């Protein structure tokens, strides 16, 4: 039986549902919120409420947006001929941080996983095919995660695009050794990809 008052225990339980937050961390966060002044605590509550009320999916790329279209789709400077396909909205952020990708995005909303009951119809794959077919897209970059489900999703989409839009170039993010890594600590899959993706020195 908990020694905490019911409202505190409820807060701890809700915080513990967040990814990467265990019971002890949830308890520390709950007591931090209790110690915070009313302005900060209410600011956090208001921010959570606002994000749930105002944020939806972009009608074009399915990224997070606070209107019908996200800021990237509204940016006229972006190259509409190149499309980067990612699994989740959070995957857009690291790519944008590189300042190397000039095009637009398409967010699938997950990865194929028959074991978990996630089939092509559960993702925004049909919307991707339609978007490519009815636009000036010349290249589709598949930037799904280098996991079993991510690879399966990329292969499925690549096959579908080659069948439906053969004129469109389909590419995959290169993968291999991270900068600063030692060869002796690299696994076989990473090393084999690094060898397969070698380029002139």
- 50-66 per-residue burial string, b: 16 or more CB within 10 A, e: under 16: eeeeeeebbebbbbbbe
Integer CA distances (angstroms), 21 to 2, 17, 36, 87, 89, in order: 19, 7, 20, 23, 21
Task: Tell me the CATH number of domain 6-54, given options 1.25.40.10, 1.10.8.420, 1.20.120.1200, 3.40.50.2000.
Answer: 1.10.8.420
**Which tens digit of pLDDT belongs to each residue from 59-97?**
999 999 999 999 999 999 999 999 999 999 999 999 999
Which CATH architecture fits 77-172? 3-Layer(aba) Sandwich (3.40)
pLDDT band of residue 195 (cuts 50, 70, 90) is confident
The predicted pLDDT at position 189 comes to 75
- Domain ranges within the chain, ordered by starting residue: 6-54, 77-172
Q: What is the pTM of this model?
A: 0.83
Residues 23, 17: Cα–Cα separation, whole Å: 9
Cross-strand partners of 141: 84, 171
**Which tens digit of pLDDT belongs to each residue from 102-150?**
999 999 999 999 899 999 999 999 999 999 999 999 999 999 998 899 9
Integer CA distances (angstroms), 179 to 96, 98, 190, in order: 19, 15, 13
pLDDT band of residue 191 (cuts 50, 70, 90) is confident
The predicted pLDDT at position 201 comes to 62
- Residue 63 tokens read as 């990224």
């Amino acid at each position: 039986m908990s020694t905490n008052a019911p409202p505190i225990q409820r807060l701890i339980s809700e915080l513990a549902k967040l990814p990467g937050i265990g019971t002890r961390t949830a308890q520390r966060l709950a007591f931090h919120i209790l110690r915070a002044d009313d302005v900060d605590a209410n600011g956090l509550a208001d921010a959570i409420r606002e994000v749930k009320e105002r944020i939806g999916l972009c009608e074009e790329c399915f990224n997070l947006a606070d209107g019908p279209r996200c800021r990237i789709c509204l940016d006229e400077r972006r190259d509409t001929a190149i499309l980067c396909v990612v699994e989740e909205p959070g995957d857009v952020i690291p790519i944008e941080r590189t300042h190397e990708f000039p095009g637009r995005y398409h967010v699938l909303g997950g990865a194929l996983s028959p074991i978990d009951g996630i089939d092509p119809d559960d993702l925004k794959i049909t919307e991707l095919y339609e978007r490519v077919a009815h636009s000036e897209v010349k290249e589709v970059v598949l930037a799904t995660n280098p996991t079993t489900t991510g690879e399966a999703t990329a292969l499925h989409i690549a096959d579908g695009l080659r069948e439906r839009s053969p004129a469109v170039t389909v590419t995959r993010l290169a993968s291999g050794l991270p900068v600063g890594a030692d060869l002796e600590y690299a696994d076989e899959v990473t090393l084999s990809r690094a060898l397969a993706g070698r380029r002139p020195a």
